[in-house]
Amino acid sequence: MTGYEETLLTRAEVLEDGGDLVQAITAILAGAQSAGVDRAAVISLAAAARALDPGAATAYEPGGKHDRLPGGGYRSDGEFLEAAADAEGDVLERLRDVDKLQERLAAAMDDAQAALGAAYAMAVRDPCTGCHGAKEAAIAEALRRIGLCEAAAEILDPLAQRLGQALGRLRQLPEDLGEVYELVYEFIRKGGKLPVFARWIEGQGTRA
């Protein structure tokens, strides 16, 4: 087991770095802003970014129709939701990696605690022939391993919680979008046509 717990801790530290996930989500938020998506439709998206990083930049100001320039932002609601689904998949994959590492960590902790029990049970003799030192070394090594496992758990447990919260928020996004634009979607289903600055809903316009 020499070095195994260090490997688990290092892996936990790598997984903890969620900068790529936050960057992807804030990029989607920026695209939605450029497209003029209603603020109420992206509340969950912003919350997902903050769940991963409370300091994430989630300021949102979609502006009015005159701010929506040709080629800016998402061209359709479908394109927007596809990007959000990709981000959701990335968060889910990270959460699965964390879950797997937690399983390995639990097994490593069990092994380390068993090693500690065995170390405490080691027999010593008097006069000592090196047995006392060997016992102390075995105890110290087991405690070191336990400490590494605990350090990794202190990273993984809150990380799993943050990822779970972000995942829940991302999964809420389609419902939020549907509620905010419910009347718009109903209008389109009945054959209505939106003005050019709102075409991103249909994916047909020159402006977003």
The per-residue DSSP string of 50-101 comes to HHH-TT---------GGG--BT-S-SSHHHHHHHHHHHHHHHHHHHHHHHHH
Largest CA distance in the chain: 96
On whether the CB atoms of residues 104 and 148 are closer than 8 A, the answer is no
Say what the pLDDT of residue 64 is. 64
> What is the four-CA torsion angle of 76, 178, 32, 83, rounded to 10 degrees?
-70
First to last CA, the chain: 57
pLDDT of amino acid 206:
36
What range does the domain containing 18 cover? 4-201
Q: Give dist(CA 178, CA 205) in Å, integer.
A: 20
**Does a structural domain hold residue 128?**
yes
β-partners of residue 207 are 70
Residue 118 lies in a domain: yes
Amino acid letter, residue 167: L
- Is 208 within a domain? no
Question: Per the domain annotation, does 72 fall within a domain?
Answer: yes
| CB proximity list for 12: less than 8 A, separation 6 or greater | 101, 105, 152, 155, 156, 159
Q: Which amino acid is at 172?
A: Q
Residue 207 falls within a domain, yes or no?
no
Q: Are 167 and 44 in contact (CB under 8 A)?
A: no
Residue 206 included in any domain: no
- Are the beta carbons of 25 and 50 closer than 8 angstroms? no
Counting Cα atoms < 13 Å in the Cβ hemisphere of 142 gives 19
Q: What is the pTM of this model?
A: 0.85
Is 15 inside any structural domain? yes
Q: Would residue 91 count as lying in a domain?
A: yes
Total of domains in the chain: 1
Give me the average pLDDT of each 10-residue run along the chain (208 residues): 87 95 95 86 94 93 64 78 95 98 97 94 82 90 96 97 97 90 72 56 44
Amino acid at the residue 121: A
Calpha distance 166→174 (Å, rounded) = 14
Residues 6+ positions from 139 with CB-CB distance below 8 Å: 116, 119, 120
